[in-house]
Amino acid sequence: MKNIGQDLGFSLVHQQNLVYVTCWEDPRLDRVALNLQTDDTVLVITSAGCNALEYALDEPKQIYAVDVNPKQNALLELKIAAIRELDFEHFFQLFGRGKLKQFDEIYTQKLRSHLSSISQAYWDKQGTKFFDSDRSFYFRGTTGNFALAINYYIDHIVKIRPSIDAILNAKTSQEQQEIYHCEIEQAFWQDWLYYLLNSDFVLWMLGIPLQQRQQMELYLEGSIATFIRQRCEQVFTEIPIQDNYFWRVFLKGEYRRDCCPEYLKEENFKRLKSGLVDCIQVKTNTVTNFLENCQEKISRFVLLDHMDWLSRSSHEQLQQEWQAILDRASEKTRILFRSGALQVEYLDALPVVYEGKEQLLQNLLRYDTELAEQLHPQDRVQTYGSFYIADLVEA
């Protein structure tokens, strides 16, 4: 009964909300691993749409952005419409600062007609509240609300905003280390914060359902809160902060022009506007259902961490998804996925049919472990336990 209640709670939090206001997968790694060419067709789970836009800069033939949550797709549709219709200054105000005065007028006159009916209904209701207020768009949605709560904690409870600003502006790793260990670490990591970070509700807000939590806990020596602390320390003491736009937007609610996703840089905005954005098609569906009804072969799959969600109690769905992937995969297919866990074992024994033969999935995937291990430590986010690059073995 407890598991049913936890699943229901997660579903209620996620199905009724925009969850991700920004992507939490580092596309710099993805673009190296994907090595996109002009004949590639990509399937990526939409999330906030940032990474689909970045992949478009590599000029693949087609990108399908697929998400079961229509609110996530509504966000990507709005970004695409804004690229097509706005000048760069207004575009950066909207998605760089997370605020745009007179949003309703601009939305109605320029953006709305580009959206699907479902996305129109969503932004008709939420657009002005999300973008034309004192509160940044990046402090909206479930993950944005969590970021807002952490910023309140920083400003009003532990009162370390000057130290946070200092570390975000640090020029060297040594400077980052000194600020973190001397000014932030002890003040920030209070005992009750550990309690909150281990709670199901907070993990739901972060997009971690029960199944993923259980998968993570298989391999962790300590608690999930301890894992989060270790990864935060790695981010703020080992990885250069100057271009870490993931944590800047989390801690400031906005990007800077010199610290932002590639699609928010003026030269890339112009490239997308000139036609590169047209390769993106947005689809509200499950990965399995989309692939079962897709007529094209897919050469690149970016599956994020969603298989963790199916790992503990939904093996039939996981099997169906991989069968659909294999049925739609082209020659020389490459598949990227992440996991909250330090290891993934749940794929190996999945039975699938390929080239008319029933086999185990582990016999069909060849992992580029060397490249994954080279790239993963460079990840500017560091919220995932592991990163995988898998090539489909050629028959």
Model pLDDT for residues 198-239, shown as the tens digit of each residue: 888 888 888 787 777 787 887 788 888 999 999 999 999 999
What is the pTM assigned to this prediction? Answer: 0.94
Give the chain's mean pLDDT. 93
Residue 57 confidence (pLDDT): 99
Say how far apart CA 164 and CA 251 lie, in whole Å.
Answer: 8
Token pair listed for 164: 């946070």
| Residue 255, CB-side half-sphere exposure with 13 Å CA sphere | 22
Q: The domain 2-87+279-392 is classified under which CATH number: 1.20.272.10, 1.10.3470.10, 3.40.50.150, 3.40.190.10?
A: 3.40.50.150
Domain ranges of the chain: 2-87+279-392
First to last CA, the chain: 45
Are the beta carbons of 306 and 92 closer than 8 angstroms?
Answer: no
Find tokens 């399995």 and name the residue: 288
- Model confidence band, residue 395 (pLDDT cutoffs 50, 70, 90): low
- Model confidence band, residue 13 (pLDDT cutoffs 50, 70, 90): low
* 81 Cβ neighbours under 8 A, 6+ residues apart: 110, 111, 112, 114, 115
| Distance set, CA 344 to CA 213, 347, 365, 373, 387 (Å) | 13, 7, 13, 14, 10
Assess whether pLDDT exceeds 70 at residue 2.
no
Assess whether pLDDT exceeds 90 at residue 20.
yes
| Distance set, CA 315 to CA 4, 307, 324, 348 (Å) | 17, 10, 14, 12
Say how far apart CA 395 and CA 384 lie, in whole Å.
Answer: 32
Residue 219 confidence (pLDDT): 78
Are the beta carbons of 281 and 73 closer than 8 angstroms?
Answer: no
Token pair listed for 113: 């007609």
CA 209 to chain centre: 15
Residue 11 confidence (pLDDT): 52
- Rounded to an integer, the average pLDDT of 8-35 is 83
255-290 pLDDT tens trace: 999 999 999 999 999 999 999 999 999 999 999 999
- Rounded to an integer, the average pLDDT of 309-318 is 77
Say how far apart CA 153 and CA 66 lie, in whole Å.
Answer: 35
Say how far apart CA 339 and CA 243 lie, in whole Å.
Answer: 24
- Model confidence band, residue 364 (pLDDT cutoffs 50, 70, 90): very high
